[in-house]
């Protein structure tokens, strides 16, 4: 005899409490292997494929694509065991439980190593009932006529909704309930051990139809009463003017919701301040062109402007470690962080994300550039893991790609500072006592005033500007 086990949305880590169903990877009736991905969900951090720790036949799915579920909510139920070829006796049913146990793993890449099974369909009517019911004989289940079934009870109190698998064997009953929006968890079955029969669903449908009819009649009565009331409320409206369209409401969830929460928390908790400076980036652009034009043994991958700015940031943070810190509000302490995990803002179709280059202080410009390129590609395809989006200690925001010169960025909580970079464009500039056209960029630093004063922030920004204007300054720290 098979057992029906319920798989709930697991804790995906990083403090995530909910996820949105993006795409189901299995259908009801599919055979799944242990740790096979069954659903793709979107959290506030990334897209994640969730594997099922049980192997067996999918008997039910909970939630349509686009539904947002909290952690711990049922995702699907799986009939585990060997329903085909079973004699139906208690001895035979016990022999199949050992192979049907779950792995206990919930994250992709941490499975048991069981070989992936080819997806196939079986007839759902071969599934046995849940473990809480009496053993089912090998004979097919025959549902009693509608007239012979006792009266079904419809549970309406939320507290009375049953937990665990729904006691339904027939896929016809499930399909009938789904077509009429009947919640099987709110039905008390009239079959053996509470089994929900078709007669129970039919009675629930009739009850719902009677309720809908009564509601529609009440609505028509109310509309008729309102139509007979004086039209003084609309008398002042000009002829031919239609009512204003309703405003569109967009839920704040997924990446957009996570960004909203983090930025709101940053503005609420962090007393930030911003300073900025214009810098002549002509020499930096010349050095980059020379690096990328090198041939022979000294040649290498192309180095981006963002990679050079990131390397400048790590050198500046070594001089001003106050800005590579965070504030422990409960302990009322400033926590100086030993390493630099550099985040960089990336705009994707899913919204703004901040991938993190780990141990950026140990990397050169070429290594940082390669890691930025790799993480950017993952961000564009939506394959960044939560670990690659968290743990940053300082953020570099290149908003110049949007064609703007300056900004006052919001600190990426719980970090202490963020460097913003505007577009690099030709501008009139006094160079060596003469007016010339130079490549000018605006740099802005937003910092947490709790970790340092303006002198430290100004010193950091000035050092960054000096490295941009005179890249040879970086040779001191290489």
Q: Number of H helices and number of E strands within the chain?
A: 8, 21
Query: Comparing C-alpha atoms, which of 127, 131, 121 is closest to residue 140?
Result: 127
What three-state secondary structure class fits 209?
A: helix
- End-to-end CA distance of the chain: give it in Å, rounded: 69
The three-point CA angle 295-296-297 to 5° equals 120
Question: Burial level of 451, CB count in 10 A (0-12/13-18/19+)?
Answer: buried
Residue of 180, 217, 431, 449 marked catalytic: 449
Distance CA 442, CA 344 (A): 17
The residues, any chain, with a CB within 8 Å of residue 2's CB and separated by 6 or more, are 56, 57, 79, 80, 81, 82, 83, 86, 93, 96, 100, 127, 128
Burial class (CB in 10 A: 0-12, 13-18, 19+), 88: middle
CA distances from 316 to 17, 75, 438, 459 (A): 37, 48, 24, 9
**Per-residue b/e over 60-70, b at no fewer than 16 CB within 10 Å?**
bbbbeeeebbe
Q: Dig out the tokens for 294 from the structure.
A: 């090198």
> What separation in angstroms does the CA of 364 have from each of 160, 354, 374, 392, 425?
62, 20, 16, 18, 26
Question: What is the rounded distance in angstroms from the CA atom of residue 377 to the CA atom of residue 472?
Answer: 31
Task: Respond yes or no: is residue 449 known to be catalytic.
Answer: yes
Q: Which residues are catalytic?
A: 449
């Amino acid at each position: 005899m098979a057992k029906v086990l319920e798989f709930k949305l697991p804790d995906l880590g990083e403090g995530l409490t909910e996820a949105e169903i993006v795409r189901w990877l299995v259908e009801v009736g599919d055979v799944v292997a242990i740790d096979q991905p069954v659903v793709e969900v979107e959290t506030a951090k990334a897209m994640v494929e969730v594997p099922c720790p049980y192997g067996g036949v999918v008997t039910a799915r909970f939630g349509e694509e686009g539904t947002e579920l909290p952690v711990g909510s049922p995702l699907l139920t799986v009939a585990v065991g060997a329903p085909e070829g079973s004699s139906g006796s208690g001895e035979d049913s016990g022999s199949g439980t050992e192979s049907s146990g779950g792995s206990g793993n919930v994250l992709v890449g941490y499975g048991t190593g069981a070989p992936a099974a080819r997806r196939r369909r079986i007839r759902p009517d071969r599934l046995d009932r849940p473990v809480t019911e009496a053993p089912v004989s090998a004979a097919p289940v025959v549902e009693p006529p509608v007239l012979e079934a006792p009266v079904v009870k419809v549970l309406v109190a939320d507290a009375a909704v049953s937990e665990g698998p729904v006691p339904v064997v027939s896929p016809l009953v499930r399909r009938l309930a789904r077509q009429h929006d009947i919640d099987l968890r709110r039905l008390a079955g009239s079959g053996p051990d509470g089994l929900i029969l078709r007669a129970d669903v039919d009675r629930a449908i009739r009850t719902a139809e009677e309720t809908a009819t009564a509601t529609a009649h009440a609505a028509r009565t109310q509309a008729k009463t309102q139509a007979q009331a004086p039209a003084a409320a609309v008398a002042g409206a000009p002829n031919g003017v239609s009512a204003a369209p309703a405003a569109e409401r967009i839920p704040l969830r997924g990446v957009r919701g996570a960004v909203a929460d983090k930025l709101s928390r940053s503005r609420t908790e962090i007393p930030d301040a911003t300073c900025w400076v214009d810098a002549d980036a002509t020499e930096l652009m010349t050095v980059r062109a020379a690096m990328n034009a090198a041939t022979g043994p000294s040649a290498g991958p192309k180095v981006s402007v963002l990679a050079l700015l990131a390397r400048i940031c790590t050198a500046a943070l070594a001089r001003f470690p106050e800005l590579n810190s965070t504030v422990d509000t409960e302990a009322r302490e400033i926590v100086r962080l030993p390493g630099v995990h550099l985040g960089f803002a990336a705009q994707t179709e899913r919204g703004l994300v901040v991938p993190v280059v780990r141990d950026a202080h140990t990397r050169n410009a070429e290594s940082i550039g390669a890691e930025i390129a790799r993480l950017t590609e993952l961000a564009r395809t939506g394959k960044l893991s939560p670990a690659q989006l968290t743990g940053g200690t300082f953020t570099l925001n290149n908003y110049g790609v949007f064609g703007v010169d300056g900004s006052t960025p919001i600190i990426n909580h719980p970090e202490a500072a963020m460097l913003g970079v505007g577009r690099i464009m030709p501008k009139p500039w006094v160079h060596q006592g003469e007016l010339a056209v130079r490549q000018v960029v605006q740099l802005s630093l937003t910092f947490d005033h709790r970790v340092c004063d303006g002198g430290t922030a100004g010193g950091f920004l000035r050092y960054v500007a000096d490295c941009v204007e005179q890249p040879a300054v970086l040779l001191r720290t290489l």
